[in-house]
Chain A
Amino acid sequence: MSAPRDPTIEEFYKYCSEKKLMGVRCVRCKHIMVPPRSICNNCRSSRVEWTQLGSKGKLTTYTVVHMAPPQFKHMTPYAVGIVEMAEGVKLPSIIRVARLELLKIGMELEADFSTNPQESAWPQWPRYFFKETA
């Protein structure tokens, strides 16, 4: 068995490159956190372990960005929002929908992954995103 991976942001994105959406769960109080970190936000315990999240979530809020920094300009207008996973944990994400007018709080979404979309030297992370359920 390989050594457990550290609860770091870098490892989170390594998991993304394996098409796994991961959080860390506090061993003591079961609170799940994304981004991962070594101290539980809820009970301060430092015993956390990786847990794989499902792919299903719901949109809790969103915005449609029209004016973006240079690296996102080519995507405008695009939607970003906060997705609540079936496990209860939330995470921020780009939301890809066929038509932006269809965005709705409460809509069902599913996670997907893309390879590093940027040419910058750092960071070389893949990206998770959410899209309409098929």
Chain B
Amino acid sequence: MAAKPLASIVSVGLSKFGRREGVYARELFAEAALESFHRLEDFDPGKQIRAAFIGQMSESYERQSHTAPMAANWAGLLPVAATRVEDACASSGAALRCGIMAIKSGLYDIVLVGGMEKMTNLPTPEVTGILATASDFPFEQWNGMTFPGVFALMATSHMHEYGTTEEQMAMVAVKNHKHGALNPKAHMQKEITLDEAIKSRVVSWPLKIYDCSLITDGASVAILAKPKLAKKLSKNYVHIIGTGQAQDTFLMHERESLTTVKAAKLASQEAYKMADLRPKDVNVAEVHDCFTIAEIIAYEDLGFCRPGLGGKFIESGAPALDGSLPINTSGGLKSKGHPVGATGTAQIAELYLQLTGQADRRQVKDAEIGLAHNLGGSGATAVVHILRSG
């Protein structure tokens, strides 16, 4: 028997991702919100949306805290109950979970979830410093660890234990840029070659520039409703049938293994169980490719291939748009961009388009089941959602 929906998604909105000079986070958020309102007919957002959960990582980029009421105000949602949710790069994945709980509890019929981040107004070294704050300060940052650095430690471990290669990691970048080139909202709509990726500048060996996601401005939004109301609100709706979240040790060196993200394994097991589905049932997935190695490890953690075979999985072509399980059709964090707080619900926006047949040139034929995998920091947080077409 098909799993009962926890909540339904009746609309999504995404700002243009990229270097958005002269535009603040609140304005990006309003842009995304407006798109989500325009998808609906006879909808009065100010009246019908009674709660909002908004993901944002850091107040340092714009010297601005208390950002949920700010975003809600700019989106024309007052006096909505608005709360900011922060779990580093998984902020809006976690915001989505809050939205699901708000609907499932019966407290609200319709809620808005989303996320935003404005990052490009600061010089790159400063942005790198702010991103590093998602890892431990007194032991990791204090010892010169950077955000690419923590994932580089996992890459070195994966290479050592399973023979994963720098070339296989570069293949992830090439694939995601190929997908992103088809996405008009993506930050970098440009294909790259394997050679370019491998020869690009080293950031934190073994990771190079093209192994890293982009520093991007952007916002994303999804409107959730009680499943009973979904059909009434839109002919294009999808159901959320599984949600999972888990945490792992805050510091990397205390993890059982650095070739896997245990929190992601646990979160996906929880979501699969709730959805009564298995990895082979998934038709399309958006995974957290903050670094190419993270996508390779995600293949394994989500059960798309066996542990250690993530490198072979990308080599096989399976996760390409024309493969057996297209992954990151949006271009992923790598090419669509990674406005940290917006990423979780941006993944949901792509899956919504895929599952309602509106993904244009990126459309995966007959996609019915979609999975989103959103990590926070170095994997101390993982959030997984499973969606089914309506």
Binding site for B on A (CB under 8 A): 9, 13, 33-35, 41, 60-70, 72-73, 75, 77-78, 80-82, 90-94, 105, 123, 125, 127, 129
Contact = CB atoms under 8 A, between A and B. Distances in A.
Contacts of A61: 153-154, 156-157, 160, 258
Interface in B124-150: 124-126, 128-129, 132, 136, 138-140, 142-146, 148-149
Contact of A69 (B143, B146, B160): B146
Contacts of A35: 136, 138-139, 251
Contact of B153 (A62, A67, A78): A62
A18 B145 CA distance: 24
B143 A93 contact: yes
A113 B153 CA distance: 23
Contacts of A93: 143
B21 interface: no
Interface stretch (B8-16, B22-30, B201-209): B201-209
A47 B149 CA distance: 34
Given A35-B251, A92-B140, 13 more contacts: A9-B138, A35-B136, A35-B139, A41-B249, A65-B148, A65-B204, A66-B201, A66-B205, A82-B258, A90-B253, A90-B254, A91-B253, A105-B160
Contact of A94 (B124, B138, B144, B153): B144
B77 to A, nearest CB: 36
A82 B129 contact: no
Contact of B205 (A64, A90, A94): A64
B253 A92 contact: yes
Given A73-B125, A75-B144, A90-B253, A65 B138 contact: no
12 contacts: A9-B139, A41-B254, A61-B258, A64-B205, A67-B148, A68-B128, A69-B125, A82-B153, A82-B253, A91-B253, A92-B140, A127-B142
B178 to A, nearest CB: 26
B252 interface: yes
Contact of B143 (A70, A73, A94): A94
B152 interface: yes
Contacts of B249: 41
A52 B364 CA distance: 58
Given A70-B126, A92-B251, A125-B142, A65 B149 contact: yes
Given A82-B253, A90-B253, A123-B138, A66 B125 contact: no
Nearest to A93: B143
Given A66-B203, A67-B204, A90-B253, A80 B138 contact: no
Contact of B252 (A69, A78, A82): A82
Give the most central of B144, B160, B203: most A CB within 10 Å: B144
B246 to A, nearest CB: 16
B160 A63 contact: no
A63 B152 contact: yes
Per CB-CB distance, the 9 closest pairs between chain A and chain B, nearest first, are A63-B152, A69-B129, A64-B205, A90-B253, A61-B157, A82-B253, A61-B156, A66-B202, A72-B144
Contacts of B253: 82, 90-92
Contacts of B136: 35
A97 to B, nearest CB: 14
A80 B252 contact: no
B211 to A, nearest CB: 12
Contact of A64 (B145, B204, B254, B258): B204
A34 B252 CA distance: 12
A71 B258 CA distance: 27
A79 B201 CA distance: 17
A65 B125 contact: no
A94 B155 CA distance: 18
A64 B202 contact: yes
A13 B132 CA distance: 21
B293 to A, nearest CB: 11
A67 B152 CA distance: 12
B42 to A, nearest CB: 50
Contacts of A63: 149, 152-153, 155-156, 204-207
